[in-house]
Amino acid sequence: MAHTVKRVAVVATGTIGASWAAYFLAQGLDVDATDPSPGAEQRLRDAVATHWVALSQQGLAQGASQERLHFHAQLEDALAQADFVQENGPERLDFKVDLFRRMDAAAPAHVLLASSSSGLAVTDMQRDCAHPERVVLGHPFNPPHMIPLVEVGGGEHTAPEAVADAMAFYTRIGKRPIQVRREIKGHIANRLQAALWREAFHLVDQGVATVEDIDTAISQGPGLRWALMGPFMNLHLSGGEGGIAHVLAHLGGPIEGWWQDLGTPSMTEALQHQVTEGVAQALGARQAGELARARDALLIELLRAKQASGLLSDPDPDTQA
């Protein structure tokens, strides 16, 4: 299945699809996009133009151009010349199954079909495909045009080389793919987020902390370290010369005790209202768009700094045993 990807078909161009399209264009690729929604083409072109500012700050590949974006009304036309397909449709299994069946019938035989699904199983999505061996997971972390992470995996009928080829493609265009080695609801990153969200909602529900307190606890505490290294490496460094073995020997018991005391809140209307009001109070007179722009500007600088640091940049998967 290995081949050079020069042209990517982006199927469904909502928030995630538009972000992907902008990123592929910034990497010097041609993009054939399709979305049946009324006004989709103009919304896509507007989104790409908006994302281009941040992408330009990050650095454009040779040949990168918004002019290489082509919009097609018909799915089949968008896939006709594709070397890779990135699907971003609604997170509904019935929709995905039918869409993958259609994409499988339309795409050239050598082309991988990757899904941005945030939690569905590839096995389920590929079930009606004549060539299920080329269907893979290619789940980005939002927004794809800025965040390096992509989760890659296969289903019961996916060929191992398809997963390897998807990993290689995403790596080549500057992403940091990780392999989901066993299908599980929500994959990896979303499950980790969900674990934190669950306890955050529980602490608010129990009156332990306000919404603003929770955000401060993370953004001014462990979140600063998590932006640099993951939970296991941070735990290792906290153990001094003894490393993670020392931490687990001395704190393993207490940590297990905390696990057993974690909450299991229900998403009641009352809790939703409490959190919504808490966010509004924390936001105050600031606008969400203003915060997002400030966040993205700092994110660009953080990514640059991590890359320049060497030691704090993630290991290159090609160099790992």
Q: What is the pLDDT of residues 166-212, one digit of tens each?
A: 999 999 999 999 999 999 999 999 999 999 999 999 999 999 999 99
Please indicate, yes or no, if residue 320 is contained in any of the structural domains.
Answer: no
In a domain, 203, yes or no: yes
Q: How many domains does the chain have?
A: 2
Q: Please tell me whether residues 174 and 194 are part of one structural domain.
A: no
**Is residue 168 located within the same domain as residue 237?**
no
Classify residue 108: in a domain, yes or no: yes
Burial of 186 (0-12, 13-18, 19+ CB in 10 A): middle
Q: Which of 149, 115, 150 is nearest to 134 (CA)?
A: 115
272 in any annotated domain: yes
Q: What is the CATH number of the domain that holds 92?
A: 3.40.50.720
Pair (71, 213) in one structural domain: no
Residue 302, in any domain of the structure: no
Q: Does one domain contain both 135 and 277?
A: no
Tokens of 112: 């991988």
Quickly state the pLDDT bin for 268 (edges 50, 70, 90).
very high
* Helix/strand/coil for 135: strand
CATH number at residue 220: 1.10.1040.10
Q: Are residues 155 and 193 in the same domain?
A: no
With respect to residue 129, please indicate whether it lies within any of the assigned structural domains: yes
| 137 in the same domain as 201 | no
Do 213 and 160 share a domain, yes or no? no
Residue 95 confidence class, pLDDT cut points 50, 70, 90: very high
Q: What is the pLDDT of residues 16-53, one digit of tens each?
A: 999 999 999 999 999 999 999 999 999 999 999 999 99
Note whether 110 and 34 are same-domain residues: yes
Co-location of 162 and 194 in the same domain: no
Looking at the structure, tell me whether residues 120 and 195 fall in a common domain.
no
Q: Does residue 61 sit in the same domain as residue 159?
A: yes
Q: Is residue 306 one of the residues assigned to a domain?
A: no
Residues 162 and 41 in one domain: yes
Position 320 scores a pLDDT of 45
Print the domain residue range for 263: 189-283
**Quick one: CA dihedral 105, 107, 110, 114, positive or negative?**
negative
Tokens of 280: 């509004």
Check residue 314 and give its pLDDT. Answer: 62
User: Does a structural domain hold residue 303?
Assistant: no
Q: From the CB of residue 208, how many other CB atoms can be counted at a distance below 10 Å?
A: 12
Closest CA to 163 of 47, 2, 274: 2
